[in-house]
Amino acid sequence: MPAIGFQPHDHSACVDGALSKAQAHCAALGLRMTPVRRRTLEILLAEHRALGAYDILGVLSEEGLGAQPPVAYRALDFLVKAGFAHKVEALNAYIACAHLGADHTPAFLICRACKSVAEADTAPAKGRLDDAARAAGFVIERTVVEAEGLCPDCQTDTKAEGTKAKGTTP
Amino acid sequence: MPAIGFQPHDHSACVDGALSKAQAHCAALGLRMTPVRRRTLEILLAEHRALGAYDILGVLSEEGLGAQPPVAYRALDFLVKAGFAHKVEALNAYIACAHLGADHTPAFLICRACKSVAEADTAPAKGRLDDAARAAGFVIERTVVEAEGLCPDCQTDTKAEGTKAKGTTP
DNA sequence: CCAGTTATGTTATAGTATTACGCTTGCTAC
DNA sequence: GTAGCAAGCGTAATACTATAACATAACTGG
Ligand SMILES: [Zn+2]
Ligand SMILES: [Zn+2]
Ligand SMILES: [Zn+2]
Ligand SMILES: [Zn+2]
């Protein structure tokens, strides 16, 4: 499964699966899936797009779950550390993990037109980078692999001039 | 030359070479290497570290070359577009290109202890990522490959607990 | 010189993230 | 049970990163 996010798929199964896997993972490791954290994960899972911390905060505060930035950042930190979400560095935004449960190093394909983000696996790319790092005597702890460009849908749309919306909240 | 930045080297030759290559490149393409832009490049070249836009701005303003954020951001944009510098997304910071003149997609090795950054070549990793993207029907326009970890020097320093300084401004 | 373009100066504002501190909640040890 | 502790949350304040908008100045080609 190379890149979840662009292909049409059963998204509610996608969401339900991720939520139950996250729940199980928390139970197994003694992590606490609190209301704010669960809701934050749900918000991220709703779309295969990266959301800013303040987008999350907006929703949380509408729902009475917290009104200040640290609420969102703390929940996001938890989700990222637990492996339920990733930070997309090129966007300063966050996205739910699409391969939840697999221990992996993500690679993102980011569409600059519709803002959707697909998560691929980097195993191949990472091997080569590891080689280069080893040669330099560098020990890698975390890798960021992100590619910006145009997704299949947006390549045909009049050369991707404007802003196109996709997903569950158009 | 896999990763310039960690190995000891003749750094003033490194700086001079980059400056003259940049100058030549501007002459060839009709780009304008203005005082602010040249000085910004010099500041970045002084260290194999990423500097924030406001670090740059601080130096520029001390020298009477501009006091407001857009001054630094415009100079950095120029340098990045011209290929003389790169943005390190994981740090929201900027670094002079270590392979100036080569048309390349950079990969960065970022030391979390001493903050030095080495620039390696991604050609191998990029090929694999291209394959994955093609399979998904995605067209890549720009790639970001960054690895955080510990550089050779910092691996031995008591497990890299504190803040260590390195480079020309210790 | 003149018009067009590119660069700079400056103000204001938007967007992203963290520090700090006090309160509450849930767990464990007694 | 309840005292003590650790983790999580509420809130205010602040730091850091980046851009929009508009006026002025400098360079370019005719
Ligand atoms: Zn889905
Ligand atoms: Zn798209
Ligand atoms: Zn050097
Ligand atoms: Zn480079």
| pLDDT tens digits, one per residue of A29-47 | 999 999 999 999 999 999 9
Which one of B89, B138, B144 makes the best mutation probe of the A interface by having the most chain A beta carbons within 10 Å? B138
Q: A25-29, B24-28, B124-128: lowest mean pLDDT where?
A: B124-128
Query: Domains in chain B: how many in total?
Result: 1
Residue B88 lies in a domain: yes
Residue B4 lies in a domain: no
- Closest residue to B129, CB basis, from A89, A107, A111: A107
Residue B131 lies in a domain: yes
Range of the domain at A37: 11-165
Per-residue HEC secondary structure of chain A comes to CCEECCCCCCHHHHHHHHHHHHHHHHHHHCCCCCHHHHHHHHHHHCCCECECHHHHHHHHHHCCCCCCHHHHHHHHHHHHHHCCEEEECCCCEEEECCCCCCCCCEEEEEECCCCEEEEEECHHHHHHHHHHHHHHCCEEEEEEEEEEEECHHHHHCCCCCCCCCCCCCC
Residue B3 lies in a domain: no
Report CA(A115)–C1'(C20) in Å, whole number: 36
Residue B1 lies in a domain: no
- Chain B residues within an 8 Å CB radius of A131: 124
Task: Give pLDDT tens digits for A6-29.
Answer: 788 899 999 999 999 999 999 999
- Closest residue to A133, CB basis, from B109, B121, B135: B109
pLDDT for res B168: 41
Task: Give pLDDT tens digits for A45-100.
Answer: 999 999 999 999 999 999 999 899 999 999 999 999 999 999 999 999 999 999 88
In chain B, whose CA is at the least distance from the CA of A130? B147
Which one of A138, A140, A143, A157 makes the best mutation probe of the B interface by having the most chain B beta carbons within 10 Å? A138
What CATH number corresponds to the domain at position B79?
1.10.10.10
Indicate yes or no: strand D within 7 A of the C-beta of B54.
Answer: yes
* pTM of the entire predicted model: 0.89
Per-residue pLDDT band at B156 (split at 50, 70, 90): confident
Residue A49 lies in a domain: yes
Indicate yes or no: strand D within 7 A of the C-beta of B38.
Answer: no
Contact A138 B112 (CB under 8 A): no
Backbone torsion region of residue B66, taken as left when φ is above 0, otherwise alpha when ψ lies between -120 and 50, otherwise beta: left
Residue A122 lies in a domain: yes
Residue A117 lies in a domain: yes
What is the distance between the alpha carbons of residues B45 and B18, in angstroms, rounded to a whole number? 8
- Chain B residues within an 8 Å CB radius of A89: 89-90, 144, 146
- Strand C CB shell (< 7 Å): A 52-54, 68-70, 73, 87, 92-93; B 31-32, 34-37, 65-71, 74-75, 78
